[in-house]
């Protein structure tokens, strides 16, 4: 799967990379991260990449710029030597069509005002320009009382001017159930049922993948239950809740040091006893300890 984007998992056609030379993420994902999320780190190694290079993904034959210092400096938007420079992304492109495509994707304009201008058709197209997403959002709210869904803004791979616009009530409906007037019929919204929610944090996420990442980094699962019933995930809000589960359903070592260490829990009583003997048997005499250890070992083998 090394010819798929490491972020969106779609086939890698165009890559964008910085001086760390990680060429695993597609230009669209990188553009969105830099432009919408204002995140200029490499998705792979997390180093800051001020300047990036965008080129066609050709596996081993992908064009590699080894020395970023050799790229033109003090440049402005547009053609620079044999490259095209995109100011908002701080990126060099070696393909004019792809440069234009990404530039259009990042174009900040108000689709409501654009619509009005087309209707007037007085020839004087006054292009509403915004310096950043925040400015556009502010304009949408103050001028039109409309909102973009910030989850869709970060997750949906469409041009910014193609993002749907909602009233406050429609936006809530969009996030919770997906069936707002703006989103249209069930087939029009491709089965979209609203953004999945973390029930613990009461926070919605763009899709199941984003929710899964949140659940597995911010919340806990029981590794014993997971092993016993694979595919059946029960999440716990925090470690304290998981510890209660350990105490009720499994064998938790109640020794203070083990409680502080966390996750010292066993599937069976015999494993628990073995742990007790090994770790906390200091007060027992050597022979007694060995005897207890042997009994435990036998209990394990008799399973």
- Binding residues (CB under 5 A) for Zn ion: these are 5, 7-8, 20, 22, 26, 29, 42, 44-45, 110, 112-113, 143, 149, 151-152, 198, 200-201, 218, 222, 224-225, 249, 253, 255, 258, 279
Contact present, 6 and 17 (Cβ < 8 Å): no
Cβ neighbours of 6 (radius 10 Å): 16
Structure tokens at 11: 């086939």
Q: How far apart are CA 156 and CA 222, in angstroms?
A: 33
Total residues found in the chain within this entry: 303
| Pick 198 or 295: Cβ nearer Zn ion | 198
Strand partners, 16: 54
| Pick 76 or 115: Cβ nearer Zn ion | 115
Q: How far is the CB of 97 from Zn ion (least distance, A)?
A: 18
Q: How far is the CB of 188 from Zn ion (least distance, A)?
A: 14
Q: How far is the CB of 25 from Zn ion (least distance, A)?
A: 6
Q: Which residue is listed with tokens 């073995």?
A: 274
Question: What phi, psi does 16 have (nearest 5°)?
Answer: -130, 130
Q: How far is the CB of 184 from Zn ion (least distance, A)?
A: 14
Question: What phi, psi does 61 have (nearest 5°)?
Answer: -95, 5
Q: How far is the CB of 85 from Zn ion (least distance, A)?
A: 21
Q: How far apart are CA 11 and CA 196, in angstroms?
A: 25
| Pick 218 or 271: Cβ nearer Zn ion | 218
Q: How far apart are CA 85 and CA 217, in angstroms?
A: 37
| Pick 88 or 271: Cβ nearer Zn ion | 271
Q: How far is the CB of 45 from Zn ion (least distance, A)?
A: 3
| Pick 103 or 252: Cβ nearer Zn ion | 252
Q: How far apart are CA 94 and CA 189, in angstroms?
A: 36
Sheet with 14-17: list strands edge to edge. Answer: 14-17, 52-56, 91-93, 83-86, 78-80
Q: How far is the CB of 219 from Zn ion (least distance, A)?
A: 6
| Pick 52 or 224: Cβ nearer Zn ion | 224
| Pick 77 or 186: Cβ nearer Zn ion | 186
């Amino acid at each position: 799967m090394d010819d798929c984007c490491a972020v969106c998992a779609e086939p890698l056609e165009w890559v964008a990379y910085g001086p760390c030379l990680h060429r695993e993420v597609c230009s669209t994902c990188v553009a969105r991260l830099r432009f919408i999320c204002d995140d200029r780190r490499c998705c792979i190694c997390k180093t800051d990449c001020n300047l990036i290079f965008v080129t066609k993904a050709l596996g081993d034959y992908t064009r590699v710029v080894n020395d970023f210092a050799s790229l033109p400096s003090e440049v402005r938007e547009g053609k620079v030597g044999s490259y095209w420079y995109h100011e908002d992304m701080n990126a060099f492109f070696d393909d004019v069509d792809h440069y234009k495509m990404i530039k259009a994707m990042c174009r900040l304009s108000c689709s409501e005002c654009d619509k009005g201008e087309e209707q007037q058709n007085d020839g004087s197209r006054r292009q509403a320009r915004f310096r950043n997403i925040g400015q556009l959002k502010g304009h949408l709210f103050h001028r039109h009382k409309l909102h973009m869904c910030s989850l869709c803004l970060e997750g949906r791979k469409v041009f910014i001017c193609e993002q749907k616009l909602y009233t406050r009530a429609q936006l809530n409906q969009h996030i919770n159930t997906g069936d707002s007037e703006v989103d249209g019929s069930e087939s029009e919204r491709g089965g979209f049922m609203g953004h999945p929610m973390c029930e613990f944090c009461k926070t919605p996420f763009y899709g199941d993948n984003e929710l899964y990442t949140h659940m597995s980094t911010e919340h806990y699962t029981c590794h014993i239950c997971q092993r016993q019933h694979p595919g059946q995930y029960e999440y716990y809000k925090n470690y304290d809740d998981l510890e209660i589960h350990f105490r009720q359903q499994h064998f938790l070592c109640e020794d203070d040091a083990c409680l502080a260490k966390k996750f010292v829990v066993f599937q069976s009583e015999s494993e628990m006893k073995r742990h007790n003997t090994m770790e906390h048997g200091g007060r027992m005499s050597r022979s007694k300890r060995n005897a207890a250890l042997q009994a435990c070992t036998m209990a394990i083998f008799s399973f």
